[in-house]
């Protein structure tokens, strides 16, 4: 095949799979399990995590989350959004080359957490308007009282039961047809089975659906 022919070959796109939930819901373990399950089926997949604590905005966010820095609620909300926008070109390029992405938190966390601090929910959605729309949102639903019993709870800002209860109800108000709400109080294996079944179906469906930068545009 010549170079011209290779560049003209249309690769089916990868899927944008988002995993969301409150703190200590088991999200990070499920993302790892999902990536392994996709790789085991020969699917090209990579992990992405928001906030990306390595970029300039991410370093500031990290200090804020650890309580080492105070930032105005509106300003930090915009920083979390900027932290996503600065990755969008790279994310789009990966999806277009056929790589499926398993994204640990996205704009839904942005809105659910900031609105739980008292910011207006509609205001919170605006900065993320026009981000790539996920093919699937897997929401790991766990009672905040059960989450609070898990190891390490309380280490970061927001890890308080009253806050997490408001976060949970905000998440619920953002759910639409692209969401799958999973009972995260079950065993890791049980949850992982549901997560990978839904994800594999979404990877298949994404092959024939265009990629859209229209999150919250309608």
Which residues would be at the binding site for ligand NYM (CB under 6 A)? Answer: 23, 50-51, 65, 80, 104-105, 109-110, 113, 156, 158
Query: Please, which residue, 15 or 103, has the CB nearer to Mg ion?
Result: 103
65 by Cβ neighbours in 10 Å (0-12 / 13-18 / 19+) ranks as: middle
Binding region for Mg ion (CB under 5 A) out of 20-28, 52-60, 101-109, 203-211: 20-28
153 binding partner (options Mg ion, ligand NYM, none; Cβ < 5 to 8 Å by kind): none
CA distances from 202 to 87, 132, 166 (A): 22, 15, 29
78 binds, among ligand NYM, Mg ion, none (CB under 5 to 8 A by kind): none
Q: Which is nearer to Mg ion, 20 or 23 (CB)?
A: 23
Q: Which of 13, 15, 23, 196 binds Mg ion (CB under 5 A)?
A: 23
H helices of 97-150, in order, are 107-116, 121-125, 144-148
Among Mg ion, ligand NYM, none, the one that 110 touches (CB under a kind-dependent 5 to 8 A) is ligand NYM
Rounded CA gap, 38 and 145, in Å? 32
Report d(CA 39, CA 79) in Å as an integer.
Answer: 33
């Amino acid at each position: 095949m010549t170079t011209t022919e290779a560049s003209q070959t249309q690769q089916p796109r990868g899927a944008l799979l988002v995993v969301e939930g409150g703190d200590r819901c088991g999200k990070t373990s499920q993302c790892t399990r999902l990536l392994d399950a996709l790789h085991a089926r020969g699917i090209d997949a990579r992990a992405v995590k928001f906030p990306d604590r390595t970029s300039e905005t991410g370093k500031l966010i990290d200090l804020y989350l650890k309580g080492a820095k105070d930032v105005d609620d509106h300003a930090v909300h915009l920083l979390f959004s900027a932290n996503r926008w600065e990755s969008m070109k790279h994310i789009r390029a990966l999806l277009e080359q056929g790589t499926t992405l398993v994204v640990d938190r996205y704009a839904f966390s942005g809105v659910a957490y900031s609105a739980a601090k008292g910011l207006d929910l509609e205001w919170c959605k605006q900065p993320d308007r026009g981000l790539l729309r996920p093919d699937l949102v897997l929401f790991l639903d766990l009672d905040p009282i059960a989450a609070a019993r898990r190891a390490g709870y309380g280490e970061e800002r927001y890890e308080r039961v009253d806050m997490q209860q408001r976060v949970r109800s905000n998440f619920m108000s953002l759910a639409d047809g692209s969401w799958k709400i999973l009972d995260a109080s079950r065993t890791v294996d049980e949850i992982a089975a549901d997560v990978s079944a839904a994800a594999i179906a979404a990877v298949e469906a994404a092959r024939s659906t265009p990629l859209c930068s229209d999150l919250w545009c309608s």
